[in-house]
Structure 1
Amino acid sequence: MSCTHVAELPPEPRADSVEGCPECLAVGETGWVHLRKCLTCGHIACCDSSPNRHATAHFHAEAHPVMRSREPGESWRWCYVDNQLV
């Protein structure tokens, strides 16, 4: 199965200077594992290995389908709708 959501993405949101998961930081949490970037709006959020799973929560709240790893040296993208790397 091929993901059609990548072709529908807007130009990637500009680079950001966020150094952590903003939602975790807002409540004093610093236990995120990895960060993800929404390729629709640029929102930064913590991954599913993190206690709060804000990246997946962002997908459910906003229906933005594709996130990219924000970890140094990683460039993979994940489509939540198709449940696959894209």
Structure 2
Amino acid sequence: MSECPHIAELPRSEPAPRGETCGACLAVGGHPVQLRLCLVCGQVGCCDSSPYQHATRHFKETGHAVMRSFEPGESWRWCYADGSIV
């Protein structure tokens, strides 16, 4: 794991999740795989193993670079801008 400059840009408190699953998947009748939580705004999206890749799409649309796993028992974080675990 490495430190990235995007970590310093995160809010001091982790944002509350905007839902319990990927709302964008639910809207299109999809099945989300491996959820991610945006650490800037709390958006919950599916990972790149899901057909729609909503977490990556969220990063591309908003520039919110750092997300963490939203799966039970997992707490790792990923920086889309750096392409690495942080």
Flag whether TM exceeds 0.5 (same fold).
yes
Q: Alpha-carbon deviation of 1:77?
A: 0.2
> C-alpha displacement at 1:17, in angstroms?
7.0
* C-alpha distance in 2 between matches for 1:20 and 1:69: 12
Structure 2: give runs of 5+ residues left out of the alignment: none
Match of 1:12 in 2: 14
Distance 1:55 1:17 in 2: 13
The residue aligned with 1:76 is: 76
Percent identity between matched residues is 60
**Which 4+ runs in 1 deviate beyond 3 A?**
none
- Count of matched residue positions in the alignment of Structure 1 and Structure 2: 84
Root-mean-square deviation (Å): 1.5
How far apart in 2 are the matches of 1:77 and 1:66?
Answer: 7
Q: What does 1:52-63 align with in structure 2 at a 5 Å threshold?
A: 52-63=52-63
Please state whether the residue corresponding to 1:68 is helix, strand or coil: strand
Q: How does 1:36-55 map to 2 (within 5 A)?
A: 36-55=36-55
| CA distances 1:21-77 after superposition (whole Å, capped 9, x unpaired) | 100101222x22110000000000000011100000000000001000000000000
**Structure 1 length-normalised TM:** 0.89
Task: Please tell me the residue identity of whatever aligns with 2:6.
Answer: H
User: Which protein has the bigger helix share?
Assistant: 2
Name the aligned partner's letter for residue 41 of structure 1: C
Does the CA-based 8 Å contact 2:38-2:67 persist in structure 1? yes
Which blocks of at least 5 consecutive residues in structure 1 are unaligned?
Answer: none
